[in-house]
């Protein structure tokens, strides 16, 4: 038995924040500076009453239509999100009902950030190889915009909301080969929304700005950029090496590298560090920003539609996520 | 790496700041162009050029470019 990606679709919410708008709000950040350093042209954000599960439904409806999938064949949902509808119950259960899927299925939420897509396909592959499911619907969806303080220009510039729906099945377009995983919980404080769950239930109202206008608030998304850069430099090059080893291949055997599309700065840093040729290093962040767990499926969608991946292409996917949690895998496209 | 070369590389992380403003005693956080993104570029430069790692805390505790240089080469 083998597990394959059978189809990928995605959905972006309607509202767009342009660089011009960010520059208007934060005159110290010019449009040119955002483009040259961050490389993102625009990002989509969910509406006030629009949740990650709303985006998830739209992405799934597109997937079912674009690949002509009979939804009664879906026998498991994995919903990767850190923007659930409720503390409880599980949002995946709500999605089963909203999508009109069979009641004879399993449904779980997975709380992971940027490594979430790769963690999700690893679970889906396990379900399929274990004979427990035949068609796993993996949805990645985030609305980080709701966690970002309106004066936080850094995170506002980087992150965009999105959902991607991927069907993992016993046959399809790309075989899911072997994985490499990593976790280091010491990194937890470096990308965090501290309050609102059980450790710190109540808001702390401790917003502070440094002399350059960067803010820190326990009640909003906080990212320690310097720590994340060092984390990326420490863990991602060895992750790529380990992913190659676990698949018994060498770097030259990889036709395309599709990394987590964090932003231009991080992508350029990794490409240089790993000495990957430009034409083998796929980039898709300009139009969407960093959509957390959806960046890799969105990038794969575009790489497939522009025929950047061809029959028999070996694609190395890799992501560094909060937690810290990181993961890599090889996808081998079929004939 | 000599301090002189480090200062040259440090200055390359800036787009709009005159090169004569970069000296060993420059208090880099007072430069108008300095911001959180420049800090990330400096971390990446130190990794690439010196094969050394500096942290956000190293940058916070350094006042001058020479301070940061000394921390970087001792790491």
pLDDT digits (tens, 9 = 90+) for B18-38: 999 999 999 999 999 999 899
Tokens of A20: 């011009």
The ranges of chain A annotated as CATH 3.40.47.10 are: 4-171, 178-333
Instruction: Please give the residue range of the domain that contains residue B37.
Output: 3-11+26-74
CA distance linking residue A99 with residue B56, whole number of Å? 45
The interface predicted TM-score (ipTM) is: 0.93
Number of domains in chain B: 1
> Is residue B20 a part of any domain in this protein?
no
**Residue A197 neighbours by CB under 8 Å, 6+ apart:** A87
What pLDDT shows up at residue A74? 98
Buried b / exposed e across A99-129, counting CB within 10 Å, b at 16+?
A: bebeeebebebbebbbbbbbbbbbbbbebbe
Chain B: residue whose CA lies nearest to A224: B56
CA distance linking residue A114 with residue A91, whole number of Å? 19
Q: Write out chain A residues lying below 8 Å of B51, CB-based.
A: none
pLDDT digits (tens, 9 = 90+) for A292-335: 999 999 999 999 999 899 889 999 999 999 999 999 999 999 97
Sign (positive or negative) of CA dihedral A80, A85, A86, A87: positive
Sign (positive or negative) of CA dihedral A165, A169, A173, A179: positive
CA distance linking residue A151 with residue B5, whole number of Å? 37
> Is residue B19 a part of any domain in this protein?
no
pTM, to two decimals: 0.97
Q: Write out chain B residues lying below 8 Å of A233, CB-based.
A: 44, 47, 53
Residue B55, min C-alpha distance to chain A (Å): 7
pLDDT digits (tens, 9 = 90+) for B55-70: 999 999 999 999 999 9
Sign (positive or negative) of CA dihedral B61, B64, B65, B69: negative
Please state, for a pLDDT cut of 90, what percent of chain A lies above it: 96
Tokens of A95: 């999605």
Task: Tell me which of 3.40.50.300, 3.40.47.10, 1.10.10.10, 1.10.8.50 is the CATH number of domain A178-333.
Answer: 3.40.47.10
> Is residue B36 a part of any domain in this protein?
yes
Least confident of A205-214, A259-268, A271-280: A205-214
> Is residue B21 a part of any domain in this protein?
no
| Three-class secondary structure of residue A210 per DSSP | coil
CA-to-CA dists, residue A21 to A144, A221, A290, angstroms: 18, 21, 18
Quick check: B63 contacting A, CB < 8 Å? no
CA distance linking residue A178 with residue A329, whole number of Å? 6
Q: What is the mean pLDDT of residues A34-55?
A: 97
Q: Is it true that domain A4-171 has CATH number 1.20.140.10?
A: no
The half-sphere exposure of A22 on its side-chain side, counting CA atoms within 13 A, is 25
> Is residue B40 a part of any domain in this protein?
yes
> Is residue B31 a part of any domain in this protein?
yes
The verdict on a CB contact (< 8 Å) between B37 and A212 is no
pLDDT digits (tens, 9 = 90+) for A86-110: 999 999 999 999 999 999 999 999 9
Does the structure show a pLDDT above 90 at A118? yes
Other beta carbons within 10 Å of A288: 24
Residue A36, min C-alpha distance to chain B (Å): 11
Residue A137, min C-alpha distance to chain B (Å): 38
Chain A: residue whose CA lies nearest to B33: A28
């Amino acid at each position: 038995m083998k597990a394959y990606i059978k189809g990928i679709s995605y959905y972006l919410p309607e509202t767009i924040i342009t660089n011009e708008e960010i520059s208007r709000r934060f005159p110290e950040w010019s449009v040119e500076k955002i483009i040259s350093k961050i490389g993102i042209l625009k990002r989509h954000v969910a509406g006030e009453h629009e949740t990650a599960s709303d985006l998830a439904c739209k992405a799934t409806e597109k997937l079912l239509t674009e690949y002509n999938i009979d939804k009664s064949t879906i026998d498991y949902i994995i919903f990767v999100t850190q923007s659930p509808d409720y503390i409880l119950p599980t949002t995946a259960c709500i999605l089963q009902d909203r999508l009109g899927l069979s009641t004879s299925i399993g449904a779980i939420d997975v709380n992971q950030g940027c490594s979430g897509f790769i963690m999700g396909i690893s679970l889906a592959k396990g379900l399929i190889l274990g004979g427990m499911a035949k068609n796993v619907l993996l949805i990645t969806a985030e609305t980080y915009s709701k966690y970002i303080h309106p004066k936080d220009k850094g995170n506002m510039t980087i992150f965009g909301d999105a959902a991607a729906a991927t069907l993992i099945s016993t046959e399809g377009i790309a075989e899911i080969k072997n994985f490499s995983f990593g976790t280091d919980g010491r990194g937890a404080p470096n990308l965090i929304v501290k309050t609102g769950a059980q450790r710190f239930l109540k808001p702390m109202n401790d917003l502070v700005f440094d002399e350059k206008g960067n803010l820190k608030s326990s009640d909003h998304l906080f990212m320690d950029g310097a720590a994340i850069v060092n984390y990326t430099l420490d863990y991602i090059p060895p992750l790529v090496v380990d992913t190659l080893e676990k698949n018994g291949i060498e770097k030259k055997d990889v036709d395309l590298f599709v990394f987590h599309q964090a932003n231009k700065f991080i992508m350029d840093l990794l490409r240089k560090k790993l000495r990957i040729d430009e034409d083998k290093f796929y980039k898709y962040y300009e139009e969407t920003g960093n959509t957390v767990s959806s960046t890799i499926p969105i990038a794969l969608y575009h790489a497939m539609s522009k025929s950047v991946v061809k029959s028999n292409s070996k694609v190395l996917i890799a992501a560094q996520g909060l937690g810290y949690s990181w993961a890599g895998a090889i996808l081998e496209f079929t004939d | 790496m000599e301090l002189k070369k480090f200062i040259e590389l440090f200055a390359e992380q800036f787009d709009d700041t005159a090169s004569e403003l970069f000296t060993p005693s420059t208090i880099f956080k007072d430069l108008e162009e300095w911001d959180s993104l420049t800090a990330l570029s400096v971390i990446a430069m130190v990794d690439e050029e010196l094969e050394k790692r500096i942290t956000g805390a190293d940058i916070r505790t350094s006042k001058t470019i020479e301070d940061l240089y000394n921390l970087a080469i001792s790491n």
